[in-house]
Amino acid sequence: MAESNRGGRLSLTVKLPLFIGSLLVVTVVVYSYVSYARVRRSALGLAGNRIGAVTDQLAALFKQSGSTLIRGTRQVADTDIVTRFLTNPTDRNRAAVTMLLRPNTTAGKQVASAQVFDARRRLIAVTGDSAALRTATAATSDLIAGLTAEDSGVVSRFLAVGDSVIYASASPSVSNGRVLGYLVMWRYLANPPARRQLSELIGTDSRFYIGNVGDNVWSDFSRPMDPPPVAVAGDTSILHYSRGGAEGGALIATARSIQGVPWIVLVEFPEARVLAPAAAFLRDSLLIGAAILALGLIVAWWASRQLTGPLVHLTRTAEELAGRGSSSRGGEPEGDEIARLTTVFESMVAHVRESQRELELRVKTRTNELQERNEELESFAYSISHDLRAPLRAMDGFSQALLEEYGDKLDSTGRQYAERVKAGARRMDLLIRDLLAYSKMTRGDIKVGPLELDRVVRGALDQVEGDARARGARVVVEDDMPRVQGHESTLTQVLMNLIANGIKFVPAGRTPEVRVRTEGRDGVVRLWVMDNGIGIPPEYHERIFRVFERLHRTDEYPGTGIGLAIVRKGVERMGGRVGLESEADRGTSFWIDLPLAVDQPPARAAVAP
Ligand code: ADP
């Protein structure tokens, strides 16, 4: 990780894993959170349904208890003891009633106190807990105010008295359809066995409360309790709150009004219990996420090393090449490898463009110079060659004159010398003539146009006819040759040289045979000049086209070694190509490729050989 933090700039080797790591973290966190939220919502929904059902059951149970309570009170109110006292409130009858209604009798189970009112709602007898009664007096008159002979009774709201909660049931005492009076029985809301049974019914984690509709008196069936921290309506909504304190923690709760009584029942369930599976799910998915993250980071680091290794190497090499690496400049290169590579690449491109421009300019200048030199050289060679011929002619002429006029005065050695001078002059003249021809071929304008091959070949044959006849050669020319693009005198010269060689390079005793024919393909005409001569070894196929390159001594096969150089130059200047195939002692076939004449109908191009 040496490259990880050069000058505070992060390398790709670190950037890539960081990027992939961040991506994984975001993915894991988002995925876990979204899944957790869903699991949580569905767990809460399920718990809400369950707790709702439990609350419904409790409400039904309490409704039933309410009716039972009223029925019980009414039964007591209708007993003979009570009706007798109400009809005839003597001390004896009062004592009987007080006896009947004293707390903890069967009839007055959990009864805190009982009150008997006459038909005009005046209190005529009291039993039980006077402290509870003091608080209850105002509530009592409200309770019995609306009772008629048709009513079986009512149940009061809860009242908090000290550390108890009390409630009353009131019934009219009726005889022959007439209200004799009213019986009100106050009870403590404290029933440990019932509480235990209900707790078992709703589950140990749940708690239930009972309270008044619309005020803050609540009890858990044993003592007054703090009201829930939110307004509780007896509807089906699911409540979420926390009670704070030691038992704090979020709760979900539902409340139901109880029919027939002014009470409301509330069931609470700790949210932590509901959400335990969701929390476990979140913990598990975060753990799995962390494992994936660790694995992802390792893989990303490894992959990034594999990927960026060559890139880092390339960047360094490129920086070194461009002479802008950290070592060469002392300063740190900017950015990561890609940014550095881009910078280096741009500067390299600029360099290359600049160099290219310079190079093009230099090539142009050099080419112009070279062309000028060449032209100078050629004209110099031409004039030299030209000028050389005059003294040569003098040498030839005077050696001839020497032989003719002074021949008899010379001995045989002197004559031989004079012959040699003459022969040398002639050979030199020949060389110069050929050189001039070559020089001419390289200079001057060559305008290419359509040519009748038949005519050009015949013209060349006329030129070599003397030679052919002297050697007894047979020259066969194919009929109906196509038209090609060329330059007439150049092509004539080229064909002359090739046919002359075909006649010349034949072993003594063999009749020279030369064949000229064409073949055409793809708009190109290949013109063959084939002989039955000595052949040319493959290693010389290229060399023989150079000036003065000869494979034989002049006394064997005379010549200057310029003929094929002229052939190649001429063919090239017409835009064609030249080459050969050869077999030792069987003959050589030179070919020339020239474009088919532009006005040539294509059908004629494919002339059979
Ligand atoms: P020259 O004919 O004056 O010697 P050329 O340039 O025409 O010069 O040919 C160069 C050499 O190529 C010749 O000296 C000869 O050795 C060889 N050569 C050319 N044409 C033929 C041929 N048709 N058959 C065999 N050898 C050839």
CA-nearest residue, atom 2 of ligand 1: 559
pLDDT grade, residue 331 (50/70/90)? Answer: low
Give the Å distance between the CA of 482 and the centre of ligand 1: 27
- For residues 541-547, give the mean pLDDT: 94
pLDDT above 50 for 72: yes
Q: CA of 306: how far to CAs of 23, 132, 303, 569, in Å?
A: 20, 87, 5, 58
pLDDT above 90 for 574: yes
DSSP 160-224: EETTEEEEEEEEEEEETTEEEEEEEEEEES--HHHHHHHHHHH-TT-EEEEEETTSS-EE-SSSE
| Structure confidence at residue 5 (pLDDT) | 42
> 290-293: which pairs have CB atoms within 8 A and are 24 or more residues apart?
290/28, 292/24, 292/28, 293/21, 293/24, 293/25, 293/28
Is pLDDT larger for residue 14 or for residue 459?
A: 459
Nearest-angstrom CA–CA distance, 605 and 482: 6
pLDDT above 70 for 132: no
- For residues 44-70, give the mean pLDDT: 91
Other C-beta atoms lying within 10 Å of the C-beta of residue 487: 20
Element (H, E) at 252: strand 250-257
Give the Å distance between the CA of 270 and the centre of ligand 1: 115
Is pLDDT larger for residue 566 or for residue 191?
A: 566
pLDDT grade, residue 135 (50/70/90)? Answer: low
Ligand 1 proximity of 501 Cβ (cutoff 6 Å): yes
User: Tokens in use for 187?
Assistant: 């009870």
Helix, strand or coil, per DSSP, at residue 538: helix
Give the Å distance between the CA of 523 and the centre of ligand 1: 30
Contacts of 586 (CB under 8 A, 6+ apart): 532, 535
CA-nearest residue, atom 20 of ligand 1: 501
Q: Of the ranges 56-70, 126-140, 243-257, which one carries the lowest mean pLDDT score?
A: 126-140
Give the Å distance between the CA of 530 and the centre of ligand 1: 13
pLDDT above 80 for 609: no
Is pLDDT larger for residue 162 or for residue 546?
A: 546
Is pLDDT larger for residue 110 or for residue 225?
A: 225
pLDDT above 70 for 330: no
CA-nearest residue, atom 7 of ligand 1: 563
| Structure confidence at residue 334 (pLDDT) | 65
Helix 488-504 vs helix 412-442: angle between axes, to the nearest 10 degrees? 140
Ligand 1 proximity of 550 Cβ (cutoff 6 Å): yes
pLDDT above 70 for 48: yes
What does DSSP assign to residue 246? T
Percentage with pLDDT > 90 across the chain:
46
Give the Å distance between the CA of 552 and the centre of ligand 1: 8
Ligand 1 proximity of 582 Cβ (cutoff 6 Å): no
- For residues 390-409, give the mean pLDDT: 90
**Closest approach atom of ligand 1 to CA 564:** 6
- For residues 159-166, give the mean pLDDT: 86
Give the Å distance between the CA of 584 and the centre of ligand 1: 14
Ligand 1 proximity of 531 Cβ (cutoff 6 Å): yes
| Structure confidence at residue 90 (pLDDT) | 93
- For residues 549-566, give the mean pLDDT: 91
| Structure confidence at residue 517 (pLDDT) | 96
Ligand 1 proximity of 437 Cβ (cutoff 6 Å): no
Give the Å distance between the CA of 441 and the centre of ligand 1: 18
Whether this prediction's pTM lies above 0.85 is answered by no
Is pLDDT larger for residue 376 or for residue 516?
A: 516
Give the Å distance between the CA of 73 and the centre of ligand 1: 150
pLDDT above 70 for 532: yes
Whether the CA torsion 239, 243, 244, 247 is positive or negative: it is negative
pLDDT grade, residue 565 (50/70/90)? Answer: very high
Ligand 1 proximity of 580 Cβ (cutoff 6 Å): no
pLDDT above 90 for 197: no
Other C-beta atoms lying within 10 Å of the C-beta of residue 571: 22
**Closest approach atom of ligand 1 to CA 587:** 24
| Structure confidence at residue 4 (pLDDT) | 42
DSSP 69-115: HHHHHHHHHTSHHHHHHHHS--HHHHHHHHHHHSTTSSTTTTEEEEE
Ligand 1 proximity of 478 Cβ (cutoff 6 Å): no
- For 457-493, the pLDDT digits (tens) are 999 999 999 999 999 999 999 988 999 999 999 999 9
Substitution site in 430, 432, 496, 550 for ligand 1 pocket (most atoms within 8 Å of beta carbon): 550
Burial (Cβ within 10 Å: 0-12, 13-18, ≥19) of residue 507: exposed
| Structure confidence at residue 3 (pLDDT) | 43
Across the chain, mean pLDDT equals 86
Closest of 432, 493, 506 to residue 464, by C-alpha: 493
- For 263-284, the pLDDT digits (tens) are 999 999 998 888 888 889 889 9
